[in-house]
Amino acid sequence: MQHIKDEILKLVDLLNKYSYQYYVDDNPTVSDTEYDTLYKQLEKLEKKYPEYILENSPTRRVGDVVLEEFQKVTHTIPMLSLSNTFSIDEINDFDGRIRKLLPENKIEYICELKIDGLAISINYENGKLIEAATRGDGMIGENVTENIKTIFSIPKILKDNKTFEVRGEVYLPKKSFELLNNNREKNGEQLFANPRNAAAGSLRQLDSKITAKRKLSAFIYSVVGENDIDSQEEALILAKEYSFPINTNYKLCKNITEVGEYIKYWEENKNNLPYDIDGIVIKVNSFSSQEIVGYTQKSPRWATAYKFPEEELATKLLDVELSVGRTGIITPVAVLEPINISGSVVSKASLHNKDIINELDIHIGDMVIVKKAGEIIPKVVRVVRELRKENSLKYEMPNICPSCKEKTITREDDPFTRCVNPNCPEQNIRKIIHFASRDALNIEGLGDKVVATLYEKKLIQHVIDLYSLKKEKIIDLERMGEKSVDNLLNAIEDSKNISLDRLIYALGILNVGKKAGKILAENYGTLLSFSKATMEELIGLQDVGKITAESIIDYFSDKNNLKFISDLIALGINPTYTKEKISEDNLFNEKTVVLTGKLISLTRNEAKESLERLGAKVTGSVTKNTDLVVTGEKAGSKLKKAKELNISVISEEEFINLIKEV
C-alpha cells in the first residue's frame, strides 16, 4: 500500500503549499475549485485509509499558520470553518442529514451571502473594543486590533456596556480595490490580483496607517456570548441594533426548496453587488437545533457553504501586446479570441510580467484558460498544452522597447522588463498625463487623448513643454475650439500656483504617493531643498521607508531630472511649503463629525479634508460620541439617529459658512 501512502503525502504537501500561499502570502496560485477538488480527493483517501492520515494533513486543521510578526490571540471559542458543497444535490443531502438528526423539529434555514474576504473576531469589554484577531488556525489568530479600528463601519464603543464577541468578514469593496490598484499602478507598484488578496494584505499590515488608506469594510455575521438570543436571525438583528454592519441580503427560508431559489438568484445577480461573494452560507436558524445537530472536529454540522463554480473558459491566444508605463515597466497583455465570461466580453487578459509568461509557458496560438480574477480583472491561468501545435513558438519578452525601439533591461531578481530611455515616447506621454492628473497639478482639459495628440504633433515632448504652448499652434487641432484652447492655456498657467506637496507627487518619483508628497513637502519646504535630500535624512522621516528613500535618491541622481527641477523653478513653479495656522478654538477642533446625505457644493473628500484641517475627526457612523452631523440632500438613517441621540445637526450651507469664518 506504499503507493497510497505516497499519494496521500503528495496531496498533503501540495495542499499545505497552496494553503500557505493563500493564507500567509496572500498570493494563491490555484483556483478555489482546483484546491477543493484536491481536498475532496484527500478526504476520500483518508476516509478509506485512516491509518495513513498525517499529523499535518489540512483536513485536521481549520485555517493555517499565524504570521510571526503579530502577537498571537487564543480564541475562547474555536473559529471553525464550514464544510463546502458544490451542487444542489449536495445541498439536498445536507438537508437530509439535518432532518435525520432533527426528526421532530420544524427546520428553518437562514441563508447569507458568503463574502470573499478574511474572517475576523472582535471582542468588546464593557462596551469598548479591546481586541480583534484573524481566524488563524481556528484556535490561535493574529492580533490586528489597531488595524480593525481603522475600519469606519466597526464601532469602537457600543451604545451600552455590553461584553461580547462578534465575528464577521473583512473585505475590500470593488471600488476601493480599483482605486487601490490605480494608485499602485501610478506608483509603479505590483498590482493586487483580486479584492480578497488586497483585503488580507491590508489587514495584515504592521503599520495601521497603511491599513487605514485601503478603505476596508466589514460585515458582522455572528454574536458570541449573548444569552438573550435564540437564533441566527436574532443575532443579525442584535448586531444591527448595536450599529454593526450586517449584510441585509440574508433570507430566512422555510425549506430547502427556498434555499435553492435563493442560491439560483444570487448566482445570476452576484455581479451586481459592490463587493465580491464566492458562495452562499446556509445555517440552521435555531440555536437550540444547532446544539442538537452539533459539530465535527473541524466544522459545524448545522451549516454549510455552497461555493459558486468559478467560471473558467478556454479561448485562443492570438498575440501579446505590450504597453509601457511612466516608470518604464513593460506590461504584456494577451490578445484573445473574444469570449463571454462572468457577464462581459473579454478579448484581452493580463500576463503581468516575464516570470508569469515563463511559468505559464506561453506560445502564440495556444489554447488558454481564462478567468476573471476576483471577477474583475481577466487573467490567463493556464495553457492547454495538449492542444498546442508542434511548430508554435514560445513567447519571449522583447529586448527592444515597443515604443522607442531602444534596448530594454531585464534583471534576474526583477520580474519586470524595463525601458530606461528618458526619451521613450510612451513613457513621456504617461509622465505628462500623471503630471496633469487631478491629484497632481490638476490641469483641466489636459486629458489622455489631448496629451497624446499634442505629443504626436510634436507640440510637446516633455512636461516642461506644456508651459510654452501657443494658441496659434493648437487652435487647428481636432476638437480644440477657441474656448477649449483658452481654457486649457489658462489652466496650464494656473497650475504654476500649485502647492509643494502636489508638485512633489506630480514629479512621478517611484513609490512617492500623495501622502509621501505631503510629508516631504513639510520636511523640506522647497523643491530645491528636496532635490538635495540625503539617504540618512529620508530614512529618518516618519512614514518614509528605505524603498521610497532609495527611489528618491535614484531620481535625483539622474541629471535629466535635476534639469527638469531647474526648469520648473525658472518658470516660477517653485512653491514654498507653509503650514496653515488654524486657531485651536475653532468650532470643529477635536470634535467627532459625521457627514451624511448628498453634498452639493463640496465633494465628500473636500468636506472631509476641510474638517481634518480644522482638527476634527471624521467618522462614518453616528454614535453617542459623535459631536456634530453635517447633512446634505436625502440624509437618512444617520440623521434620524443623530436626532434620537440629541446630537447637533447643521446643513451643508451652514457648514460652508462656518469654515469660511475660520
82 annotated among ligand-binding-site residues: yes
Phi then psi for residue 539, to 5 deg, are -65, -30
| Sequence-ordered list of residues with C-beta below 8 angstroms from that of 416, at least 6 positions apart, any chain | 329, 330, 353, 354
CA–CA separation, 137 vs 65, rounded Å? 6
81 annotated among ligand-binding-site residues: yes
Q: Grid cell 505628462 — which residue? A: 432
CB count within 10 Å of CB 261 equals: 12
5 annotated among ligand-binding-site residues: no
276 annotated among ligand-binding-site residues: no
CA–CA separation, 171 vs 116, rounded Å? 7
362 in Cβ contact with 320 (< 8 Å): yes
111 annotated among ligand-binding-site residues: no
- Among 169, 167, 251, 180, CA closest to 215: 180
169 annotated among ligand-binding-site residues: yes
CB count within 10 Å of CB 482 equals: 9
DSSP 251-299: EEESSHHHHHHHHHHHHHHGGGSSS-EEEEEEEESBHHHHHHH-B-SSS
CA–CA separation, 83 vs 69, rounded Å? 30
112 annotated among ligand-binding-site residues: yes
316 annotated among ligand-binding-site residues: no
Which residue in the list 47, 106, 114, 640 is annotated as catalytic? Answer: 114
The amino acid occupying position 193 is: A
Q: Is 114 a catalytic residue?
A: yes
34 annotated among ligand-binding-site residues: yes
405 annotated among ligand-binding-site residues: no
Instruction: Calculate the alpha carbon distances from 374 to 68, 178, 425, 528 in Å.
Output: 28, 11, 33, 44
Q: Provide the 8-state DSSP code for 585.
A: T
- Among 204, 118, 196, CA closest to 376: 196
Q: 3-state SS string over 66-125?
A: CCCCCCEEECCCCCCCCEEECCHHHHHHHHHHHHHHCCCCCCCEEEEEEECCEEEEEEEE
Q: Provide the 8-state DSSP code for 464.
A: G
For 464-469, the CB contacts below 8 A with 24+ separation are 464/564, 464/567, 464/568, 464/571, 466/432, 466/435, 466/436, 466/492, 467/492, 467/496, 467/571
| Sequence-ordered list of residues with C-beta below 8 angstroms from that of 130, at least 6 positions apart, any chain | 123, 124, 145
User: Which H helix or E strand runs over 221?
Assistant: strand 217-224
Q: Provide the 8-state DSSP code for 395.
A: P
- Strands 72-74, 140-142: pairing kind: antiparallel
The amino acid occupying position 246 is: I
CA neighbours within 13 Å on the CB side: how many for 586? 19
349 in Cβ contact with 379 (< 8 Å): yes
For 526, the grid coordinates are: 522647497
CA neighbours within 13 Å on the CB side: how many for 224? 16
25 annotated among ligand-binding-site residues: no
36 annotated among ligand-binding-site residues: yes
13 annotated among ligand-binding-site residues: no
Collapsing DSSP states into helix, strand and coil, what is residue 239?
helix
| Sequence-ordered list of residues with C-beta below 8 angstroms from that of 568, at least 6 positions apart, any chain | 464, 503, 527, 574
For 505, the grid coordinates are: 507627487
179 in Cβ contact with 215 (< 8 Å): yes
Phi then psi for residue 562, to 5 deg, are -65, -40
Q: Which residues are annotated as a binding site for NAD(+)?
A: 32-36, 81-82, 112, 135, 169, 283, 307
Q: Which residues are annotated as a binding site?
A: 32-36, 81-82, 112, 135, 169, 283, 307, 401, 404, 419, 424
Q: Which residues are annotated as a binding site for Zn(2+)?
A: 401, 404, 419, 424
Q: Residues with catalytic annotation?
A: 114
